Amino acid sequence: MTDDQGLIQVYFGNGKGKTTASLGVALRALGHSLRVLFVQFFKRQFTGEMAAFQCIPQAEFYQFGSGDFLLGREINSEDQKEFRAGWELAKRALHEGTHRLVILDEISYAFAFNLLNWEELEQVLRERKPQVEVVITGRRVPEQLIDMADLVTEMREIKHPYTKGIKAREGFEF
């Protein structure tokens, strides 16, 4: 393996910090002038990271989601259409090697909603340009992805301010 070989990193679990960890990887890559593509699935809301990415020329940040909260409802056609658009963008970047780092934030929901199967993701990951580093986040990921990945970290919730009634705070949770 060479220094420019891209690895697969996975941050998953029910704890807070998956997206934050991926942003740390992005910040480090950007500090070395590497091009970064951050694709956030199933989300459509303004976040601090979105605003920060707009200020950095070698960084691209996209959200693909209907804007409706996913938990407790069925997935709809807009969610499906948004996912497909984001997935096509990500696949193209992985195949063409346009970015040194590609982050697939919250893509694991696609498995839960049967929008993506393991075989398709595996094929795209195996066929990506060899120098492309990939970061995948989400609550649950397929065991096969854990086996395939080079780095896997499980975020486990021990304590969370939501349980005290503290809402998500601008600048800290979004």
Q: How many domains does the chain have?
A: 1
Q: What pLDDT, in 10s, does the model give residues 88-147?
A: 999 999 999 999 999 999 999 999 899 999 999 999 999 999 999 999 999 999 999 999
Residue 121 covered by a domain: yes
Q: What pLDDT, in 10s, does the model give residues 17-55?
A: 999 999 999 999 999 999 999 999 998 889 999 999 999
Distance (Å, rounded) from C-alpha 125 to C-alpha 106?
Answer: 16
Q: How many CB atoms lie within 10 A of CB 62?
A: 15
Residue 57 covered by a domain: yes
Q: 158 lies in which domain range? A: 8-164
Scan for tokens 């909603």, then name that residue: 113
pTM for the full model? 0.93
Closest CA to 26 of 39, 12, 41: 39
Residue 1 covered by a domain: no
Distance (Å, rounded) from C-alpha 55 to C-alpha 85?
Answer: 24
Residue 172 covered by a domain: no
Cβ burial, residue 58 (10 Å; 0-12/13-18/19+): middle
Task: Round to the nearest angstrom and report the end-to-end CA distance of the chain.
Answer: 37
Distance, C-alpha 110 to centroid of its chain:
11
Q: What CATH number corresponds to the domain at position 61?
A: 3.40.50.300
Please give the angle made by the CA atoms of 71, 121 and 156, to the nearest 5 degrees. 45
Residue 2 covered by a domain: no
